[in-house]
Amino acid sequence: LRERSFGSLDLKTSSEYRSLFEALKDMSDDEVWKWKIVDDMETAQDAVERFSNALEEIAKAYFCKKVLVLWHGTVNRSFLVKIGYGSFKEFGNGTFKNTGYAVLESDGKAFKVLETFGVEKKNIWIDFVIII
């Protein structure tokens, strides 16, 4: 699934805009959901809504089947926060482990984390999800 769009910042290297994200560490989860640096940037709320809609469609289309879904970056953290697995403070920006995964269960609408690997609060990275 497509990563969150950072608009005009997408063309910059992470080192060029990393300092811009320092403000996030002092924000509440409610503020992080709506925050953008530039006007053409997708908010965390927009990205996770798009992502959640895609996961719901996949879960309904493949009900009672195992499905592998690949994605990376900030959408992982935002999705886990949305489903109540943690907070933005616990999943700090840019602190994800590579090759981690989460196994989720879904009824086509709600998602529950059944198992994780390489997913630790304050240091997570998810490359893929298996929906059961």
Q: Which pair of tokens denotes residue 4?
A: 């969150």
Cβ atoms of residues 108 and 46 within 8 Å: no
φ/ψ of 39, rounded to 5, equals -60, -35
Residues ≥6 apart with Cβ < 8 Å to 51 = 1, 71, 75, 78, 79
Structure confidence at residue 130 as a pLDDT band (50, 70, 90): low
Q: Check residue 73 and give its pLDDT.
A: 62
Q: Check residue 88 and give its pLDDT.
A: 84
Q: Check residue 96 and give its pLDDT.
A: 62
Q: How far apart are CA 129 and CA 26, in angstroms?
A: 29
Q: How far apart are CA 115 and CA 132, in angstroms?
A: 12
What are 107-116's pLDDT values in tens digits? 888 899 998 8
What are 48-99's pLDDT values in tens digits? 999 899 999 999 999 889 998 877 667 887 888 899 988 888 876 555 677 7
pTM: 0.78
Packed helices 74-82 and 44-61: angle between N→C axes, nearest 10 degrees: 70
In the chain, the percentage of residues whose pLDDT exceeds 70 is: 85
